Amino acid sequence: MSKTVEIQIEKSSNLVDGLRKHLNANGKGVTSAEIAGMEQNVKELAAANEEVERLRAELVPKVKRMNEIMANVKAAYAEKKKMLKACYSQEQWANYGIPDKR
């Protein structure tokens, strides 16, 4: 759970609990329905945050794997490009998809 969301859930839950305990003494226009609505929103936030964390847990290894593949592709590209540049004249580089110009 992200720290910011976790803190907001905790603060909001504490407020809802406090409002419920002092609903009759409040007298400031906060209704039971408003408290129930806020409580529902806090529950929805907690559920959404759990889903995001689950998705993040799935995504992190996939991103790591993609970055490994990207590093392999970049290394192979650089190696082949260097080889082709050494073997062919600059005019022929474009034939091999090398856009470099000196």
Give me the residue label for tokens 């400031």.
28
Specify the pLDDT at position 16: 94
Residue 90 near residue 101 (C-beta atoms within 8 A): yes
Q: How far is the C-alpha of 95 from the C-alpha of 19, rounded, in Å?
A: 73
Residue 100 near residue 88 (C-beta atoms within 8 A): no
Q: What is the pLDDT of residues 48-92, one digit of tens each?
A: 999 999 999 999 999 999 999 999 999 999 999 999 999 988 888
pTM higher than 0.75 for the full model? no
Q: What is the pLDDT of residues 20-37, one digit of tens each?
A: 888 776 556 788 899 999
Residue 15 near residue 37 (C-beta atoms within 8 A): no
Dihedral (CA of 89, 94, 86, 100) sign:
positive
